[in-house]
């Protein structure tokens, strides 16, 4: 039984690009997606800016190659676009796609579409099929629609563990491959902006109306974003039989739950420390072998302190370069883990470390600071990617060069 897991393809769509190459060019040119809302119809269009993909649902349908009349949610469309790019990059055959597993993540599913029907659904005099308007709000609906589009029936799963969701799909896919249940797994997540999400985070008072500043002493909160990203994971045996050249290897992963608070991480970084350490142990690596950390880095007061303390505890006086890419894409919630997994692989493949834009003044509580400038020509052997979710569900993925 093969124990090694390789990434043979990836796909991504965010506010900074409609595919992997566009995202990479934006990252190295410090181009972010932050600004006023144009597509989502809300009274907070200018009051609560976010990182929105400036494409209508019709335009997304065209890119995805599907018909809007089929009733796809925006969440599903973003997922289809990203997953198709990943499958093309991996040169998956129709047979490989049919026998692959699909593990997809979201937190809000089609609630954006449900919002359009909220008031009519409250009217007791309205007539019609109630389920037509409520089915899209089921988080698993997007996975089923994606699998239907791709002709996949072997294994379909939806993961919803807040902001660690898509990182956990990658972890689950790897475990299924390592245990011989699958040879190919398409793993990732997709998330569309909605009034529910924006108002919910605003009510928690952790949204910043200005551009977010991870790890800066002046940080006031996060910026929300939308997008999707998927990785094609394949067993070593499958890669050898197909003759494919892997892009990276998933060597380690860790998930734990600090169970500290419903919406806050443990202040001492206990959960983050355990997840990162677990990823190292899974990969049989030591802390000094990590080349770069793509942090969760949401720019909230709690997260950046918790994560920073955990990094200091794990790496001591030899902290590797680290940065948050959330000022580029915003916090894409369930999709964040897979989006930043793609960024981590891009960093390995292009030998770059992406800058933590907007960082100026260090935090008083930390002795470490993120990278402010783009670093090029830096070979990266092992990259950690952190994703931390509400309820203390924290995950770390470890990608290695091949």
Closest CA to 340 of 327, 359, 321: 327
pLDDT at 15: 98
Helix (H) or strand (E) segment spanning residue 254: strand 248-257
Non-local CB neighbours of 151 within 8 Å, separated by 6+ positions: 94, 97, 98
pLDDT at 131: 57
pLDDT at 236: 96
Domains defined along the chain, listed by start? 5-242 (3.40.47.10), 251-400 (3.40.47.10)
Burial of 102 (0-12, 13-18, 19+ CB in 10 A): buried
pLDDT at 370: 98
pLDDT at 1: 45
Closest CA to 402 of 387, 384, 380: 380
Burial of 402 (0-12, 13-18, 19+ CB in 10 A): middle
Q: pTM (2 decimals)?
A: 0.95
Question: What DSSP state is assigned to residue 233?
Answer: E
Could you report the per-residue pLDDT of 357-385, keeping only the tens digit for each?
Answer: 999 999 999 999 999 999 999 999 999 99
pLDDT at 266: 78
Return the bridge partners of 158, or none: 104
- Cα(80)–Cα(214) distance, rounded to whole angstroms? 30
- Cα(228)–Cα(80) distance, rounded to whole angstroms? 9
User: Which residue stretches of the chain have pLDDT < 70?
Assistant: 1-2, 118-123, 127-137, 262-263
Cβ–Cβ under 8 Å, residues 28 and 43? no
> What 3-state DSSP class applies to 206?
coil
């Amino acid at each position: 039984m093969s124990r090694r897991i390789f990434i043979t393809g990836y796909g991504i769509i965010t506010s900074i690009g409609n595919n992997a190459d566009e995202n990479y060019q934006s990252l190295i040119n410090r181009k972010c997606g932050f600004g006023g809302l144009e597509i989502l119809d809300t009274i907070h269009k200018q009051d609560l800016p976010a990182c929105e993909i400036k494409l209508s649902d019709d335009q997304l349908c065209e890119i995805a190659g599907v018909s809007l009349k089929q009733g796809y949610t925006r969440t599903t469309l973003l997922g289809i676009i990203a997953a198709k790019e990943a499958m093309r990059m991996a040169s998956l055959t129709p047979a490989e796609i049919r026998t692959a597993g699909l593990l997809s993540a979201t937190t809000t599913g089609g609630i954006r579409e449900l919002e359009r029907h909220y008031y009519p659904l409250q009217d007791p005099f309205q007539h019609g099929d109630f389920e037509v308007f409520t089915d899209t709000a089921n988080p698993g609906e997007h996975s089923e629609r994606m699998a239907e589009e791709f002709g996949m029936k072997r294994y379909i799963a939806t993961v919803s563990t807040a902001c660690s969701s898509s990182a956990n799909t990658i972890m689950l896919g790897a475990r299924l491959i390592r245990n011989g249940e699958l040879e190919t797994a398409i793993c990732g997540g997709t998330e569309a902006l909605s009034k529910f999400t924006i108002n919910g985070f605003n009510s928690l008072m952790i949204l910043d109306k200005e551009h977010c500043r991870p790890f800066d002493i002046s940080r006031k909160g996060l910026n929300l974003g939308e997008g999707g990203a998927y990785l094609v994971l394949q067993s070593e045996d499958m890669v050898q039989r197909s003759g494919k050249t892997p892009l990276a290897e998933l060597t380690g992963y860790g998930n734990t739950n600090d169970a500290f608070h419903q919406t806050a991480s443990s202040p001492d970084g206990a959960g983050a420390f355990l997840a990162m350490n677990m990823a190292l142990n899974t990969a049989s690596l030591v802390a000094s072998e990590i080349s770069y950390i793509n942090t969760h880095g949401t720019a909230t007061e709690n997260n950046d302190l918790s994560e920073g303390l955990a990094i200091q505890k794990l790496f001591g006086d030899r902290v590797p370069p680290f940065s948050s890419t959330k000022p580029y894409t915003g916090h894409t919630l369930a999709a964040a883990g897979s989006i930043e997994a793609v960024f981590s692989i891009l960093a390995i493949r292009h030998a770059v470390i992406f800058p933590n834009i907007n960082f100026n003044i260090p935090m008083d509580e930390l002795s470490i600071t993120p990278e402010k400038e783009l670093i090029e020509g830096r070979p990266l052997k092992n990259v950690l990617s952190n994703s931390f979710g509400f309820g203390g569900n924290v995950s770390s993925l470890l990608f290695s060069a091949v």
